[in-house]
Amino acid sequence: MVSEMKIKAVTWLVIPALVILLALVLYPTVYLWGMIFYSYHPARDPYPFFVGLKNFGILAGDSEASYTILAMLALVGITIPTQLVLGSLLAILFTARNTCGKLGLKVLLLIPMMIPAVIIGLNWKMIFFSKGPLNGLLSSLGIPPQPWLSEPFGNPYVVLFSLAVLDIWQWTPFITIAVMSGIESAPKEVYEAASLDGASEIRTLWHIVLPMIKGIIVIVLLLRIIDSMKIFDIIYTLTYGGPGIITTTFPFQIYKTGFTLTSAHPDIGYASLLALILLAISSCIAMIIMRLFHIEKLIWE
Amino acid sequence: MYGGGIVAVAVVAAAGYGIYEATKPPAPVKVGVVAIAHAAPGMKAVAETFMKEHPEITLEMLLFDWETGRDRQIHDFATKAGEFDVYMWDCIYTGAFAPHCYPVDDLKTQYPEAETFKEYDDFIPTIDRQYAQWEGKRIGYVTCANVMAMFYRKDLLEDPTVKANYKTWVGNHLDELKTLATKFGLDPGKVPTDLNVLKTLEDLLVIGRFFTKTYNPDSPTEIGNTIMCMKTHTIHWEYCWLFAPWRHSPEGMEKCGKIVLPYGDMFTEDGLPAFDPEISDAGIKVLELFKELSTYEPAPMETEWSECMELLGRGHAFMWAGSWASTFIDFIEKAKEEYPEVAGKIGVAPSPGMCVDGTWQVGVSRYSKHPKEAWLYLQDLMTKDSQKVSWETASSFPSRKSVIEELAPKYPGVFKETFLVSLLNPSIRDFVPEDPELEDSIAKWCTDYFAGTIDAKTAITNLTAEWKKILGK
């Protein structure tokens, strides 16, 4: 009797959460799936209309979309490994016994993460300006100024590296903090035992501590990959996807397609299809990482 | 006893609250106004006076750069949420914005008591007909009759030493310059041998080159001409600017027919791309000229409005030939505060070749919850006094003939001889509903060519095909 009442109470308590979940997650997701079969030009159509598989046909011939997927993956490919290596090295440096001024360094490290991406984009735009401080520094060193946001070193595609620099600058501290917390949470006995066995600090880190915090690193890696694939605000303020579409990544292309008219196929229905593709790519990458590193096992460990 | 007292107090309090609610003045109606770019400070200044005269209306001025404001307004079209009561658009977006604006005739019918403005005959007829009306219906008002203009270093252009150096430099490079002009479809016979105010594209090519350090190490400036090649919007108008002289030439008129609206200079009489390589090689040569001119500036593909302002305003550039009338306030009126390095040294003249139309319009959103109040403000924005305030605050060039006449004596050589002349003989971009897609397409193919990934012929051929596809032709 009591257990039945408990079940009833729990059911009633769950209902509000369920309603919110349905309204905020399930309905938009179902709507998104439905929209891929519709066409809706944001400025010209009074309402969405059914087009069947037409959006898939557009996608098949959309070279812009293919390029922007590649640009997104290239950016992830550059930023994530760099952030991981750099962030881990910094974490090791900050947790080393002989490092002075650790607190000050940690505070400094946090600053980029605390600045809104829009402000970062606008500030770096000034830094990258042809008469800006970066080119000023280069000139004082006798190096010719570079058009950092269009053709650095004579190659327009190198501009993706300028974007990557910003992402690395902003998000490396996140990896550092996560790895640092892992290193610091390792039991002191482990260090003492390793020390008694005559292991150097580097060997202790490499062979004992890093395997112990592998779980943290993998989760951080996963979070950063998903986040890096969504990069938008810095592109919006720094290059607006230009020159041409060189710095247009896939999420920015989805935005342009669905919410502006400056795309070859401005259509909310087509943008929904692109959004689902982004979801599929993110899910695939996440699954590969989870399988590769046996993430469930790592978490339980 | 106490209970009765409490009830009495509660009844009195409730009655008092009821009386207060019934008699209190109504809360002001909040009207959201999109105010874009350089015209925004003028609109804001007018709004402040308007709100004093209409305390029942609060105008919420939302100041955006064009790209952000455009996107936000398009979201509003799609959702029909009525986030903004007043829309604002660049002239080439007239076709795209028209279906989302309240026809003024409908406002007149619904709110006859709110009609305060009737001086429609005072507007400059061409721009009023093209950009404030669509398919015969008035959809708004031209609030800023912006027009392209060239801002240049007058002090250098008039300096006898620089003039003499120019003559020598041209003399030494005349054959090379003539070959260059021919390569870009320009007239080699028009290569300027004396340094004077620029009038033609030949002047732009040659004088710009003289003032660029990479071509002339003795140049007094590093950059011959600052140019914007980053975004869709700027590339579209700059290509049109360089293409217009050919399109208006006897050859252009013969091959492409009359210029028809809303297609404008980049189209044939039949509404097909006029730069099509199958019609002539003019489109290809113009693109090549565009790239050549972009070498006069260190990073054209990352240069926008603010960067151009800085390069001319800090003395790095000799000119900004494809600037707009709205920068008059920064470079001339307030140069002492804004750009002391060049204060008093900047001159203004019509852009070489032809000047492109760039007016800004305002209209009441079809999805507005307060169309009457929004319309009241727009009508106030069109009065003579408001147009003067807009000019004085933001150098928004007036769209009313009488205001131009009144202000012209204060600005000799500028108001009529530069801005008005350009406004009345402009190069016109298309303003069809598909224009935004066309803009994106031209930017994509031009920058691919600038970046060296394709040649000019491929760029123009692909551009032609894509424009035809977008227009369904």
B86 occurs within a structural domain:
yes
Please name the residue of chain B whose CA is at the shortest distance from the CA of residue A240.
B231
pLDDT at B20: 80
B51 occurs within a structural domain:
yes
Does the pLDDT value for residue B382 go beyond 90?
Answer: yes
Q: What is the pLDDT of residues B343-372, one digit of tens each?
A: 999 999 999 999 999 999 999 999 999 999
B198 occurs within a structural domain:
yes
Chain A residues inside the 8 Å CB shell of B311: 130-131
Chain A residues inside the 8 Å CB shell of B229: 243
B470 Cα to chain A: minimum distance (Å)? 8
Structure tokens at B326: 């709205």
Q: What is the pLDDT of residues A85-133, one digit of tens each?
A: 999 999 888 888 777 777 888 888 888 888 998 899 989 999 999 889 9
The larger pLDDT score, comparing residue A146 to residue A10, is at A146
Please check whether residues B300 and B275 belong to one and the same domain.
no
**Amino acid at the residue B325:** A
pLDDT at A4: 78
User: How many C-beta neighbours within 10 Å does residue B128 have?
Assistant: 21
For the residues B424-434, what does the mean pLDDT come to? 92
Q: How far apart are CA B320 and CA B194, in angstroms?
A: 20
Does the pLDDT value for residue B1 go beyond 60?
Answer: no
pLDDT at B8: 84
Please check whether residues B322 and B200 belong to one and the same domain.
yes
A103 Cα to chain B: minimum distance (Å)? 39
Looking at the domain that runs over A62-300, which CATH code has it been given?
A: 1.10.3720.10
Q: What is the pLDDT of residues B219-254, one digit of tens each?
A: 999 999 999 877 678 899 999 999 999 999 999 999
Please check whether residues B41 and B135 belong to one and the same domain.
yes
A52 Cα to chain B: minimum distance (Å)? 20
User: How many C-beta neighbours within 10 Å does residue B204 have?
Assistant: 27
Task: Compute the CA torsion angle B416, B422, B423, B429 (nearest 10 deg).
Answer: -170
A61 Cα to chain B: minimum distance (Å)? 13
Average predicted confidence (pLDDT) for chain A: 88
A150 Cα to chain B: minimum distance (Å)? 6
Please check whether residues B137 and B152 belong to one and the same domain.
no
For the residues B434-453, what does the mean pLDDT come to? 88
Please name the residue of chain B whose CA is at the shortest distance from the CA of residue A45.
B78
The partner residue sitting opposite A44, judged by closest CB among B301, B433, B451, is B433
For residues A148 and A128, is the Cβ–Cβ distance under 8 A? yes
Please check whether residues B317 and B414 belong to one and the same domain.
no
pLDDT at B212: 97
B59 occurs within a structural domain:
yes
**Chain A 27-86, residues with CB within 8 Å of chain B CB atoms:** 40, 42-44, 64
Residues in chain B: 473
* B447–A262 CB contact, under 8 Å: no
CA distances from B138 to B25, B73, B82, B127, B362 (A): 35, 19, 20, 12, 11
Please check whether residues B207 and B325 belong to one and the same domain.
yes
The domain that holds B133 is classified in CATH as 3.40.190.10
pLDDT band at B41 (very low <50, low <70, confident <90, very high): very high
Structural domains in chain B (count): 3
B215 occurs within a structural domain:
yes
pLDDT at B315: 95
Q: How far apart are CA B152 and CA B322, in angstroms?
A: 10
Please check whether residues B50 and B126 belong to one and the same domain.
yes
Window from B25-29, B65-69, B80-84 with minimum mean pLDDT: B25-29
For the residues B2-7, what does the mean pLDDT come to? 77
pLDDT at B17: 85
Please check whether residues B338 and B219 belong to one and the same domain.
yes
* B301–A131 CB contact, under 8 Å: no
Please check whether residues B277 and B236 belong to one and the same domain.
yes
Q: What is the pLDDT of residues A166-221, one digit of tens each?
A: 999 999 999 999 998 888 888 888 888 888 888 887 888 888 888 888 888 888 99
pLDDT at B473: 86
pLDDT at B10: 86
Average predicted confidence (pLDDT) for chain B: 93
Please check whether residues B120 and B68 belong to one and the same domain.
yes
For the residues A133-162, what does the mean pLDDT come to? 89
Name the nearest CA neighbour of B382 among B117, B51, B59, B112: B117
pLDDT band at A301 (very low <50, low <70, confident <90, very high): low
Does the pLDDT value for residue B113 go beyond 80?
Answer: yes
Structure tokens at A149: 């946001």
Q: Would you kindly state where each structural domain of chain A is located, as residue ranges?
A: 62-300
* B230–A147 CB contact, under 8 Å: no
pLDDT at B233: 80
Q: Residue B331: which domain range? A: 148-227+296-349
pLDDT band at B16 (very low <50, low <70, confident <90, very high): confident
**Chain B 295-334, residues with CB within 8 Å of chain A CB atoms:** 297-303, 307, 310-311, 314, 316
Please name the residue of chain B whose CA is at the shortest distance from the CA of residue A268.
B78
B262 occurs within a structural domain:
yes
Beta strands in B99-243 (DSSP E): 133-134, 137-138, 141-144, 148-153
Please check whether residues B164 and B46 belong to one and the same domain.
no
The larger pLDDT score, comparing residue A299 to residue B205, is at B205
Does the pLDDT value for residue B409 go beyond 90?
Answer: yes
